[in-house]
Amino acid sequence: MKGIVVGVVPATGLGDLLQYITAARLITKHINDSDICIGIAKADLAKKHLHKLIQSKKIRIIKSSIEIIPKRASSSLKSEHVGSHSSALFMKRLLLKKISSLLSPYFYPAYARLVHEKFDFGVIGGHSVDDHSVIGSGVVSATTFYRCAKQLVKGLLITFPISVTPTVLRLKSRSIELFKKALQSIDVIFVRGPFSKEVIEKFTRRRCIIALDSSFAIRDLVRIEKPRRKYKFRVVIVPRKDYFVNFGRIHEYIEYLRILRRLVQTITTKFDVEFTVTVHETGHLDLKSLKDTAKTLNSVSNVKTYVPKTLVEDVENLASADLVITCRLHAGIVALSYGVPTVFALPSRDVRVKDVLTLLGLNTQFFVLDFFNTKEMVELINRSLCILEQIEKFRKTIENSINKVIDLVEIPPRLLAKLLE
C-alpha cells in the first residue's frame, strides 16, 4: 500500500522535517505493508538531513511539485525592503507575489495531478497556520498543498497534528475562503491541542481530534548519551528574526538581543555554565539571527555557535542541554521529548505552543514569554535562574508530563490503519 506524507514547508525548516519523518516512521510502524514517500520542496536538502533517520526501504523522499510558493506578504516586504530598495522594485515584487498567490491554488494541483503517481492514502504533515502565516502567504501555501494532496491520493487524506490561529475566524477574504474549503476537503483533521480544536471546529464546522505533535516520537528514533562536559550546565539558545521583521518589530528584536546578553552575563556569574547559540531553521533570517546573537554575546568567553549539518545533530545538540531557550516551537519540542526544561520566547498569541504545553499539562504562564513584550521578556532571566537552581525538580516535572501523554502521539497512525482495513 503506497502512501504519501505531504510536506507543507520546505526542507529548510528542521522542525517541519522532524514532523514529516516521525509521521512516516509512525505510519510504517502501524501499517506493515505500507511504502511511504515524503513529498517536499528542496528534496535534496531533506535527504541530506534525514538519511540517518530513514533507515528503511519503505520510506523515500521525492521532490514536491510545488517549489515556488511566495514567502512574504506585502506588509513584510514593505517593512524589510522599502527604504533600501526603489519603490519600483518593491511594486514589481508585490505584483509577482500577488499573481503567484492567485494562481498557486489552481496551477499546482493541476500540475501535481499530471506529473505525480497516485497514492492509496495521504498524510499532510504537521504544520501551523499562525498569525505569521496569515500576514504572509502561509494561508495560500497551506491551501495549495491541501489541494495538491487531494489530487495525489486515491483514498483517505488526513492531517497529522496541526495548529490554526483564531485570526482566521475574523478575516474575510478569498484566500481565507479557499483555505476553509481546502481544509474541509480533508477526511480527518488532527490538531495539537484544545485551542486549535476550537478554532478549526468553528471555522470548518467539522469535528477534529486532538493528538500529540508527532515530533515527540523522536525520542524513540534517536538515543542520546550525555557527553562529557567541561562545564556543569549547558544552555542552548535558539534565536530567530523573521517574526520581528515580518511584524515590523525591529526595535523589540534589538531589545531581545540585549536581554539575551544580560541573561548570559547574569547566569555566568552564578553558575559554571556553557552557552550554545544554534539554529533550527536554515533560512537566511535564522542564520542572520545566529550572527546577530553571536555578535551581541562576543564579549563572553563561554558562548559558542553551532549549525547542525543533519537533523540528528540538531536533536543531539538540543537533547544534551540542561536548559533550552527557544524562539522555535520544535526546538523546544525536541528538548521536552528528552526531559530538558524549555522556555519558549514567542508571540503571546501563538496558538501552537499553547496547544502543546496545555496538552502536556505544563504551565504556559511560566514556560512561555512574549518576545514582543520587552517588560515580560526581562523575566527570562529570573525564569532561567529558577530552572537551573531547581534543575532536578524541573526535569522530573517535564519527564512526568511527557510520560503521561506520550501514547497520544500514536493516535493518528492507529486511526489511519483502522480506516484503511
31-70 pLDDT, tens digit per residue, is: 999 999 998 888 889 999 998 888 778 999 988 755 434 3
Please tell me the predicted confidence (pLDDT) of residue 213: 98
> Considering the domain boundaries, does residue 274 fall inside one?
yes
Tens digit of each residue's pLDDT (9 = 90 or more) over 110-156? 656 555 678 999 999 999 998 877 666 678 888 888 988 888 899 99
Q: Give a yes or no: residue 373 inside a domain.
A: yes
In a domain, 292, yes or no: yes
Give the C-alpha separation, 224 to 317, whole Å.
Answer: 10
Assess if residue 99 is contained within a domain. Answer: no
Query: CATH number of the domain that 317 lies in?
Result: 3.40.50.2000
Tally of domains in the chain = 2
Domain co-membership, 30 together with 115: yes
Q: Identify the band that residue 77 occupies on the pLDDT scale cut at 50, 70 and 90.
A: very low
What is the model's pLDDT at position 37?
A: 93
Q: Are residue 248 and residue 352 in the same domain, yes or no? A: yes
* Shared-domain flag, residues 198 and 283: no
Q: Is residue 172 part of a domain?
A: yes
Indicate whether 315 belongs to any domain. Answer: yes
196 and 249 co-located in one domain: no
Least confident of 74-78, 116-120, 218-222, 397-401: 74-78
66 and 205 assigned to the same domain:
yes
Taking residue 268's Cβ as centre, other Cβ atoms within 10 Å add up to 17
The C-alpha torsion from 268 through 229 and 14 to 186, rounded to 10°, is: -100
> What does the mean pLDDT of the chain come to?
87
Which residues make Cβ contacts (< 8 Å) with residue 220, sequence separation at least 6? Answer: none
pLDDT reported for residue 217: 97
Q: Collect all residues with Cβ–Cβ distance below 8 Å to 222 and sequence separation of at least 6.
A: 53, 312, 315, 316, 319
| pLDDT single digits (tens) 286-307 | 999 999 999 999 988 899 999 9
pTM greater than the 0.75 cutoff: yes
Model pLDDT for residues 205-262, shown as the tens digit of each residue: 999 999 999 999 999 999 888 777 778 999 999 999 998 998 889 999 999 999 999 9
Both 214 and 175 in one domain: the answer is: yes
**Same domain, yes or no, for 199 and 336?**
no
Range of the domain at 261: 225-405
Q: In terms of domains, do 339 and 207 share one?
A: no
pLDDT at 287: 92
Is 86 a member of any domain?
no
Higher pLDDT among residues 201 and 104, named by residue: 201
CA distances from 96 to 118, 285, 288 (A): 31, 22, 26
In terms of Cα–Cα distance, which of 223, 218, 222, 278 is closest to 19? 218
- Give residue 184's region: left, alpha or beta (phi > 0; psi -120 to 50): alpha
With bands split at pLDDT 50, 70 and 90, how would you rate the model's confidence at 173?
confident
C-alpha cell at 19: 514532523
CA distance 328 to 92: 32
Shared domain check, 131 and 156: yes
- Any idea what the CATH number is for the domain that residue 194 is in? 3.40.50
* Residue 8 in this model has a pLDDT that exceeds 90: no
Residue 161, domain member (yes or no) = yes
| One domain, residues 201 and 308 | no
Q: Could you tell me if 210 and 261 lie in one domain?
A: no
Same domain, 270 and 207: no
pLDDT per position as a tens digit, 259-284: 999 999 999 999 999 999 999 988 88
